[in-house]
Structure 1
Amino acid sequence: MPRSTKKSSSSSGPPVASSSTKCSLRDIVKSHLLDDVFQKSSVKNGNQWMVLVVDPEALRVISSSIGMYNLMEHNVTIVEDLMKRRAPFRDQAVLYLVEPNRSSIDRIVNDWTPSKENKKGPLYGNSVFLYFLGPLPDELFGLIKQCKELVKRVKVLQEVNVDFLTKESGAFHFDMKPPRFQNIYSELYVRRSSTGLSPLHDRMMSKLVTVCATLNEYPHVRFPSNNELCKSLANLFQQKINEFLGSNKSWWFNGDGTNPNTERSTLLILDRKDDCLSPLVHELTYEAMVNDLLPIDDEKITYDSVTAGTSKEGTGETTTRMDALLNDNDEVWVELKGKHIAEVIQTLSTKIRDIVNSSTGSALSGSKASGKALSINQMAKALKALPEYREIMSKLSQHMQIAHQCMDAFNKQGLLELTELEQTLATGKTDEGRTPKLKALLGQVVEEFRKRNDSAMRLRILAIAIVSQRGLSSQSDLKKLLNEANLSEDEISALRNLEKLGCPLVQKDGQNSKYARIGGKKASSFSEAENESEYSSSRYACPLKSILQDATSGNLSVEEYPSVMPLPDDNALNQSAMKKVSSVRKAASASNRWGSKTSSSSSSGKRKVGSRQLVFVVGGMCYSELRAAREVMDASGTEIVTGTTKFITPSEFISNLTSM
């Protein structure tokens, strides 16, 4: 097998047009996989049937972007798990799509190595299509070349550069969670090598390169000046994206000077440890509540569906357990997921009443609606009475019942007063705009402790109180609160692990932080961002929101957020683009030549660079941040693509702390 075969990556990338007509990330990934993997293989196979064999990682990538129907349209008869024993299909070609790791390569080679289990010959026919989610290391490529039975059948060997999962149209993650990543915070923040980075960091940046390869982006890379981890990761990413650029001669990127109406994007690498408050605060928007309060497995949720009976049929109300997928394929979910739960229920009620009060509906319902929010029973009766609207009514009914289950959990856990306390701690002001004394707030924290039997909730409340104030004022305050919280040893360990993330439990003498409490007597605001929500329970806005607002408006300070390579002026960007491409490609195999050099500042200290804004949060992104990114994108008109190691809930964040 010639070496060039390995390097026949999809260098042209997916068909991304000008910045004004860019597709969503999920659409790009779907098009890329269907066209450059499945359609390409189908054509080379004479449009005959194929078996798709995937490892768990590749299956997750496919599931997040492609449906089974799409695969069947491209002549895939069956999807098999590489890690399991499989039935032979010796009359069909096989298409392998796997992560380039030793375990997956070994199993592929075993499929074509004669053994006692393979007495009748290989499992599949004489055409093999090999695709890898990311770059294939040389040593693994060598293992493939040693298997002669496999090599002589290979028709395509290609790196597709889609080593990530799409969360929604403009968001991605790397699915770094247990059990594969059992102690991810230890790997990220504790077990560091002499260079400051671990194999996990290297893998993370390699995955991030595949995101940029898919989007056709060679971004300016920025990071917080006071975060050494982000600085190291930014330099590592720059090195890897340079190597990719040099290895793929025909790959183009937005702003390279050859594609009109495009500009280079900006990638901002941030760290979870710089904001440990946002993942803890109760968020009352729909998506965040579903993930925080209800049992949900990835996108799949099981809810109680109420069906109304009729006196005519002699049936009563019944409740059935139903499954639903909450993703971008659900238009109602897309519309409502970022809204406050009160607005969600009101919107759903209005939509259902509009149908009930339609010409057909009013005849069946007997009278016009009163405008009040529908009960679950009323909604179920309306659904049964209007068969011609069944599809849309079923979807609205589904979300109404999920939203009500969120409110049931909210009320059952007694979160109304707690959310107000959290908002005051986080913003430093009450609903009336008054700045309360910290002592009074800590007294309310103790009252919340005494109301709750759930120690996990007490831990969460205590962590919010500590992190929001950048540490308590004294050890005695900490001791008193720990006594009242009555936490387990594991929970106390999780709390103390906040210090490993740079969050002190007690403020140090002379602590000089722009977030530090003034005078130590008043509560302070954790974030400088402002939330425009009309609901008092949603006053707090995560710090990421103000960062993205500055980035999209060109006001993000280069002193606070420098770049790996100097940021060009807007009028010099396109003129210098081709020179940079040439120099980078010539030095593709060299190490990062820019080291820790940062951009020089302009007179204002602010630059506006690129069109698309990419932001990657190491250590997990919470749902309030995902919503904030969508809000900034809608307000600014600038496309924002958010990414992270994993989108996390409050319980997952605390679990990560516990495992450190």
Structure 2
Amino acid sequence: MSLSTSASTDNSLKSHQLSAITSLLSSSDSSTNSDPWKILIYDTHTRSIISPLLSVSSLRSLGVTLHLMLHSDRDPIPDVTAVYFVLPTKENLDRIARDCSRNLYKSAKIASCGRMERRTMEEFAGLVVTTGGLGKIETLSDHYVDFVSLEGRLFHLGVKESYCLYNHPSANEEEMNRCMERICTGLFSVVATLGVLPVIRCERGGSAEMVSRRLCKLLEEHPTLRKHAVVGSGQHGSSRPVLVVMDRNVDLVTPLQHVSTYQALVDDVLDHEANRVEFSVSASSDAGNSKAPVRKKLDVDPDSDPFYSRQKFNPFPEAIESNGTELQDVTERESHIRSKTSEGTGGSNLRSDNAPSTDLATAVESLPLLLERKKKLEVHTSILQACMNEIAARDIPQFYELETALATGSYKSDPSKAKQLVKDLVTDPSKGNIDDKVRVIMVYMLAVAAKNADVDEVVQAMKESLETKGLASSSQPSEANTSTATRGVLTKQDRLRLDNGIKAIEYLKKIRSMIPSMNVIQQEDSSSYYGASGTASSDMITSFMARATNQATGLLAKATDRLGNMMGKIHKHRATTIVENIIEMRPNTEDDEYLYLDPRVKGDVDVAALRNVTTRAPVREVIAFMIGGGCYGEYQNLQLVGKKVTYGCTELVDPCTFVDYLAKLV
């Protein structure tokens, strides 16, 4: 068993997990007469864990000469040790036992990414004894790293269709328990990897309480973690992190809303998974000869890419402007260095004084780093262009602006105006694709608590408009969630998306009365803007427009008339408000309703009594976890809390996929 107790350079969850997995792979070299070279065998789940952490070159530096999928056809390599890093399922362990019996490798070291149950271990032991492969197994160990770290403070558990798993009307108790247990063990891995013993706060009832109580019990029964994590912890967790566990049903508006920040927009309008972005671009062609679009795949690491790290939370127009400015600066510096290099090679420039040669050497040394930076900026230029194409074709700022107004209560006292604005937008054939239209209707019905009759009226108007007018042609090659229908004609794919969207709307109509917390109004933060104040925000837009007007060509100029209203005021989403209320222990808020569970205290802690303790230290770190799926918009919004917030979820879901989940529950 492995627990993370050592300090990390940046102390983030991702760095702790990287340290744990590096130790896992390095430990296989420690046995006597062990060959330092090894092969790594993983399953689909553990590959998703390793991919954001270790590149091929990094694996090679750890002695991994080859990495293979567990369930692929593999040739024998009898002189090499195999490290099996897998999820401890029966299917996986059966395959490992089969490999051992076939003598594929010199020896096998089995590392479970999570906890292996005693019964599973006993069954596996019996199997390898029966098949004759026991002699091949050197070690069998648990490593609590069963989660995917995409960034320093962003993780998910890889539980696919998690919202459907526990909300489906036909889900039985056994399926529910299995789902909750899977989430609990994943969260335990997070806590164990960090080497902390958090205070747990959760909503009463439902999935959040089920998971939290199981996790608390698991932590109570784990002496190793308690021993390491108890050092430096104050009474009632005064210096310990707070783990806030929430259910997706507490806010269904956020995962459906259109967004304005760079990273969240990439996830919304392009194919984006595991820090890889994919999109189609028009292929260059000879005159008169059309070519099929080319699929582009680009990797972006928010931790190692300076531009992405700085711009991922910023409004899309700011990212465009910064990309252009930085790229121009790098290009000018590159030209300057190359000109100096060219001058330095001429015989007439040679002097006894070594100053020119020193300058030349410095310039030459800086060129590779400059070219690498330029390469990364050009990657973002391509991504920004792809996003801009989608934004322009679908007029996404119109949806973002209206949804923001609805979500922050601008039309709370005028529901008829809200209905008309939504109706006008979804019946305009030049605005959005079918998913855009469905999403704004769903935000309208949830944020305004619209009557079913009004929702039906808007849906019917949308259907009639699509049947008679269709959709405006997209300027982009076909994407998964982008219609290519010509005006007045709906494709088969469009009709499927429309039917799917209507099913999702019907599901929300059925359940929203049972979950009052769904109808929430997001709170505007009067002190937080993308500028610094209301005036500053307006000035920023004006300045942005002025600079764009001065450019005859380029992405910034093209964006001018499309993106002005995507640089507005920040508003706090439901999860952000909940976390703030809990860590500040504000009375008459969610803090009164959320359970307080402490693995070091028997029974539930009385929140009201704890609030009166005058020596209570402030919370310095928070882990906010969403059961049922999370999104980039929510992750980014939680940074408004002003503390170190690590955001996690059962899975990261883009808005269109979340609509699909809702449709499956009808």
Q: What residue number does 1:496 align with?
A: 506
Q: SS in structure 2 opposite 1:296?
A: strand
Equivalent residue for 2:28, pick from 14, 29, 41: 41
Within 5 A, what are the aligned runs for 1:243-392?
A: 243=221, 245-246=222-223, 248=224, 252-253=228-229, 255=231, 263-302=239-278, 322-327=296-301, 328-358=303-333, 360-361=335-336, 389-392=370-373
Q: What residue number does 2:177 align with?
A: 198
Work out the CA distance in 2 between the residues paired with 1:356 and 1:460.
Answer: 41
Q: SS in structure 1 opposite 2:572?
A: coil
> Contact 1:254–1:265 at 8 Å: present in 2 too?
no
Q: What residue number does 1:549 align with?
A: 580
Q: CA deviation at 1:255?
A: 4.5
Work out the CA distance in 2 between the residues paired with 1:513 and 1:63.
Answer: 37
Q: SS in structure 1 opposite 2:257?
A: coil
Q: CA deviation at 1:359?
A: 9.1
Work out the CA distance in 1 between the residues paired with 2:251 and 2:444.
Answer: 14
Q: CA deviation at 1:466?
A: 0.3
Are 1:601 and 2:609 counterparts?
yes
Amino acid corresponding to residue 215 of structure 2 in structure 1: F
Are 1:613 and 2:622 counterparts?
yes
Within 5 A, what are the aligned runs for 1:62-81?
A: 62-81=50-69
Work out the CA distance in 2 between the residues paired with 1:280 and 1:172.
Answer: 20
Q: What residue number does 1:533 align with?
A: 530
Q: What residue number does 2:157 align with?
A: 174
Q: 1:71–1:494: structure 2 CA closer, same or farther, 3 Å change rule? A: same
Q: What residue number does 1:423 align with?
A: 404
Amino acid corresponding to residue 544 of structure 1 in structure 2: A
Q: What residue number does 2:72 align with?
A: 84
> Contact 1:287–1:623 at 8 Å: present in 2 too?
yes
Amino acid corresponding to residue 124 of structure 1 in structure 2: Y
Amino acid corresponding to residue 71 of structure 2 in structure 1: M
Amino acid corresponding to residue 273 of structure 1 in structure 2: N
Within 5 A, what are the aligned runs for 1:150-165?
A: 150-165=133-148
Q: What residue number does 1:409 align with?
A: 390
Q: CA deviation at 1:357?
A: 4.7
Work out the CA distance in 2 between the residues paired with 1:390 and 1:353.
Answer: 13
Are 1:26 and 2:28 counterparts?
no
CA deviations 1:604-642 (Å, max 9, x no partner) are: 59965653211110011111111123343xxx3x32211
Work out the CA distance in 1 between the residues paired with 2:280 and 2:36.
Answer: 44
Q: 1:359–1:123: structure 2 CA closer, same or farther, 3 Å change rule? A: closer
Q: SS in structure 2 opposite 1:92?
A: strand
Higher helix share: 2
Equivalent residue for 2:202, pick from 196, 219, 223: 223
Amino acid corresponding to residue 330 of structure 2 in structure 1: I
RMSD of Structure 2 on Structure 1 (CA):
3.5
> Contact 1:290–1:296 at 8 Å: present in 2 too?
yes
Amino acid corresponding to residue 100 of structure 1 in structure 2: P
Amino acid corresponding to residue 240 of structure 1 in structure 2: L
TM-score normalised by L of structure 2: 0.75
> Contact 2:200–2:596 at 8 Å: present in 1 too?
yes
Q: 1:270–1:397: structure 2 CA closer, same or farther, 3 Å change rule? A: same
Q: 1:363–1:236: structure 2 CA closer, same or farther, 3 Å change rule? A: closer
> Contact 1:144–1:151 at 8 Å: present in 2 too?
no
Q: What residue number does 2:381 align with?
A: 400
Q: What residue number does 2:421 align with?
A: 444
Amino acid corresponding to residue 42 of structure 1 in structure 2: D
Within 5 A, what are the aligned runs for 1:613-652?
A: 613-632=622-641, 636=642, 638-652=643-657
Which structure 2 segments of 5+ residues have no match?
285-292, 340-366, 464-494, 532-536, 538-564
> Contact 2:5–2:228 at 8 Å: present in 1 too?
no
> Contact 1:266–1:609 at 8 Å: present in 2 too?
no
Identity of aligned residues (%): 20
Work out the CA distance in 1 between the residues paired with 2:646 and 2:95.
Answer: 35
Amino acid corresponding to residue 88 of structure 2 in structure 1: P
Q: 1:390–1:71: structure 2 CA closer, same or farther, 3 Å change rule? A: closer
Which structure 1 segments of 5+ residues have no match?
1-8, 309-318, 365-385, 517-524, 567-579, 585-592
Q: What residue number does 1:3 align with?
A: none
Equivalent residue pairs, number: 553
Amino acid corresponding to residue 109 of structure 1 in structure 2: A
Within 5 A, what are the aligned runs for 1:578-589?
A: none
Q: What residue number does 1:10 align with?
A: 2
Q: 1:196–1:220: structure 2 CA closer, same or farther, 3 Å change rule? A: farther
Q: CA deviation at 1:437?
A: 2.4
Work out the CA distance in 1 between the residues paired with 2:29 and 2:257.
Answer: 49
Q: CA deviation at 1:224?
A: 2.3
CA deviations 1:551-602 (Å, max 9, x no partner) are: 4545485743533436xxxxxxxxxxxxx76xx8xxxxxxxx63x6654434
Q: CA deviation at 1:77?
A: 1.7
Q: 1:497–1:198: structure 2 CA closer, same or farther, 3 Å change rule? A: farther
> Contact 1:255–1:264 at 8 Å: present in 2 too?
no
